[in-house]
Amino acid sequence: MAQYTLTYFDMDSGRGEPVRIAFHAAGIEFQDHRVSFPEFVDIRPDLRFSCLPVLELDGEIVTQSDGMSRYIGKMAGLYPEDDLQALYCDEALGACEDLLHAVVKTFGLEGEELKKAREELVEGWLTVFVRGLGEILARGGEYFADGRLTIADLKVFVITRWLRSGMLEHVPQDLVEQLAPNLAEHQKRVEADPVVSAYYASRS
Ligand SMILES: N[C@@H](CCC(=O)N[C@@H](CS)C(=O)NCC(=O)O)C(=O)O
C-alpha cells in the first residue's frame, strides 16, 4: 500500500484542507504533517515551488493541490467520470484558485493600506468570484457537478467557510449571503454531508 505524507499549514482551511477531506473520504491513511509558519519559512527554500501543500507519495514529491484533490478524489468517488461533469467540477476548482490569488495579494498589508486593499477586493474581485461561483452552482443545483458531492464542493466549501468566518479583516461576514445566498446554503449542505462531517468528527 502506498505511503502518503501531506505537508501543509496547521489550519483547517486553505489549499490543503480539501485534500485532507478527500483522503479521509477515500479511507486512505496518510500522514497529516502540519507545519507552523516559522517551520514553513525554514523549509521553504527546499520546496519545489516554494509553497505548500506538498504530497510525498512513496518517496516521490508532488505539488499542486487541485491535482492532489483530483487524484485522491477519484479514489474516493468524488470526481465525475462524465467529461462534461468533470469540466464543471474543474471550472469551480479553477475559479477558487483565481479567487485565492486575488485574496492573497492583500496578505502582509497592515492598517490603512490593508483596509483600502480589502475594500477594493470586496467591491472588485471578491464580488466577481462569489457571484460567479453562485452562478455555476445554480447550474448544478445543490452541487457543482454530477448532482452530488465532488472535490469542487470541498474546495468551495472550505473557501466559503473562510470568507464567512470573520477571519479576513474588512471582508463583511455576510458578503457571501448577500451576493450568492445559494453559496451560503451550499456551505451548510456540504458541512452536513456524511463524508465531511465524518472527517471533522475524526479530527475532534
Ligand atoms: N498552485 C499551488 C499554489 C500553492 C500556494 O500558493 N500555496 C500557498 C498556501 S495555500 C503558500 O504556500 N503560500 C506561501 C508562500 O507563497 O510563501 C497549489 O495549488 O498547490
pLDDT at residue 1, as a whole number = 80
pLDDT confidence of 12, banded at 50, 70, 90?
very high
The CB of 15 under 6 Å from ligand 1? The reply is yes
In this predicted structure, the answer to whether residue 204 has a pLDDT above a threshold of 90 is no
pLDDT digits (tens, 9 = 90+) for 83-115: 999 999 999 999 999 999 999 999 999 999 999
The stretch 129-155 carries a mean pLDDT of 98
In this predicted structure, the answer to whether residue 116 has a pLDDT above a threshold of 90 is yes
pLDDT confidence of 201, banded at 50, 70, 90?
very high
The CB of 13 under 6 Å from ligand 1? The reply is no
> How far, in Å, CA of 98 to CA of 100, rounded?
5
The stretch 116-134 carries a mean pLDDT of 98
The CB of 160 under 6 Å from ligand 1? The reply is no
- Ligand 1 atom nearest the C-alpha of 47 is 12
Helix axes 151-163, 65-75, angle to 10 degrees: 130
Residue 66 CA, ligand 1 centroid: distance in Å: 11
pLDDT at residue 170, as a whole number = 98
Residue 164 CA, ligand 1 centroid: distance in Å: 21
Mean pLDDT of the chain: 98
- Please give the C-alpha separations between residue 37 and each of 11, 52, 92, 103, 164, in angstroms, as whole numbers: 11, 11, 28, 18, 23
> How far, in Å, CA of 186 to CA of 182, rounded?
6
- Ligand 1 atom nearest the C-alpha of 9 is 9
Which residue's CA is the nearest one to ligand 1's atom 16? 51
pLDDT digits (tens, 9 = 90+) for 54-71: 999 999 999 999 999 999
